[in-house]
Structure 1
Amino acid sequence: MFLKNMFFYLIIKLSATASAQDADFTYNGFAAAKLRLDGIAEITPNGLLRLTDTRLQDKGHAFHPPPVSFRNSTSGKALSFSTSFIFAIVPRYPDLFGHGLAFVLAHSVDLSYALPSQYMGLFNANNSNSSNQIVAIEFDTNMNPEFGDIDNNHVGIDVSSPRSVNSSHAAYFTNDNGAGFKNLSLVSGKPIQAWIEYSHMDGLLNVTLAPIDIPKPVVPCLSSNVNLSSLISDYMYVGFSSSVGTFKTSHYILGWSFKLNGRAQALDFSRLPSLPHTPSKSSIESWKIGLPIILAILLLLIIIIGTIFLVKRKIKFREVFEDWELEYGPQRFSYKDLFLATKGFTDQQLLGAGGFGSVYKGVLPKTDIQVAVKQVSHESRQGMREFIAEIVSIGRLSHRNLVRLLGYCRRKGELLLVYEFMPNGSLDKFLFNQPQFMLSWEQRFQIIKGVASALYYLHEGWEQVVVHRDIKASNILLDDQMNGRLGDFGLARLYDHGTDPQTTHVVGTLGYLAPELTKISKPTTSTDVFAFGGFLLEVACGRRPIEIRASEEDVVLVDKVLECWKAGTILEARDPNLGNEYILEEMEMVLKLGLLCSHPNCSFRPTMWLVVRILERDAPLPGMSEDFWSAEISAMGEGGFDNIGMSDSSLLTMSACSPSTMESLPLTSG
Structure 2
Amino acid sequence: MEGLFGKLHLVLLILSSSIFTVSTRTISFEFDSITPDAYSNFTLLGSSAISNGALQITPDTLNSGFIRNKSGRIMYNKPFELWEESSNSSPGWVASFTTTFVVNLFSLANVSRGEGLAFVIAPDLNMPSNSEGQYLGLTNSTTDGNVSNHLIAIELDTAKQEFDPDDSHIGLNINSVRSNWTESNIAITSSYMSMNNMVKDYVKQSSYLGFSASTGKDAQLNAVRKWSLTLNTNQGNNDSFAWKKITIGVVVPSLLLLIVCVASVGYYLHKKRASDDPVILGVLKRLPGTPREFKFNDLKNATNNFDEKLKLGQGGFGVVFKGIIHKENIEVAVKKFSRESMKGKDDFLAELTIINRLRHKNLVQLLGWCYKQGMLLLVYEYMPNGSLDCHLFGGPEKILSWENRCKIILGVASALHYLHNEYDQKVLHRDLKASNIMLDSELNARLGDFGLARALENGKTSYAELGGVAGTLGYIAPECFLTGKASRDSDIYGFGAVVLEVMCGQRPWTKIAGFQALVDWVWSLYREGRILEAMDERIGNNYVLVEAERLLLLGLACSHPLAKDRPKSQVLLQMISGSLPIPYIPLFKPAFLWPTVDSTDDETLTRTTGQMSKPSSSCA
Q: TM-score, normalised by structure 2?
A: 0.49
Q: Based on CA coordinates, which of the two structures has the bigger radius of gyration?
A: 1
Q: Point out the structure with the larger strand share.
A: 2
Write 1 or 2 for the structure with the bigger share of helix.
1
Q: Which has the higher contact order (CA 8 A, sep 6+)?
A: 2
